[in-house]
Structure 1
Amino acid sequence: MVKLIALYRHPEDPAAFDKHYQEVHTPLVEKMPGLKKLEVTRMKGAPTGGEAKYYLEAAMYFENEESLQAAMNSPEGRASAKDLMGFAGPLVTMMIGEVAQVAEIHG
């Protein structure tokens, strides 16, 4: 499994960012073909105290790199990318990761 990761730095207007992210951007992302799971994390702070370097992280999971590339090149993927650059281009860092281990610890 692979994931496309988006890390967002703190926006100038968090309320406007959140509104656009939830009402416009997320529905576009959810339409990407082959998307298995979307996980969005709002940062609460740093382990040592204080503000986290990033505001938000989104992880989009795909079966393999081929399905990720197909999704990114689809009309839905291009629409999502165009929207991303329009509302958060200067704030976002994108990367692709291969999921190496998943452990569910019960205790």
Structure 2
Amino acid sequence: MVKLIALYKHPDNRESFDEHYQKVHTPLTEKMPGLKKMEVTRIQGAPMGGKGAYYLEAAMYFDDRAALDAAMNSPEGKAASKDLMGFAGSLVTMMIGEVEREA
């Protein structure tokens, strides 16, 4: 299994970010073909205190890299990517990871 990970820095306007993320971006992402599971985590802070560098983390799970690539190249994946760059392009860092162990 592989996952597409999105780490978001703190937005200037949390309310506006959250509203767009929940009402527009998440529904677009959920339409991506082959998506097995999506987790969204609101970061609560760093272990040693403080707010930490990130506001939100999202992980989208796919069977394998081919399924992820197909999803990203689909019309739904392109729509989600275009939306992401429009509302959070300067805030987001994207990574791909291979899940090695699940508890």
Q: TM-score range by the shorter chain?
A: over 0.9
Structure 1 segments of 4+ aligned residues over 2 angstroms from their partners? none
Partner of 1:72: 72
Distance 1:52 1:76 in 2: 32
What letter corresponds to residue 66 of structure 2 in structure 1?
E
In structure 1, list runs of 5 or more residues that go unmatched: none
Measure how far apart 1:52 and its partner are: 1.6
CA distance, structure 2, for counterparts of residue 18 and residue 52 of structure 1: 18
The residue that corresponds to 2:21 in the other structure is: 21
Within 1, Cα distance between the matches of 2:20 and 2:13?
A: 11
Q: How many residues align?
A: 103
Larger Rg: 1
The answer for unaligned runs of 5 or more in structure 2 is none
Q: Report the secondary structure of 1:90's partner residue.
A: coil
Q: Deviations over 1:76-98 (max 9, x none)?
A: 00000000000000000000000
Specify the code of the residue in structure 2 equivalent to 1:51.
K
Residues 33-48 of structure 1: matches in 2 within 5 Å?
33-48=33-48
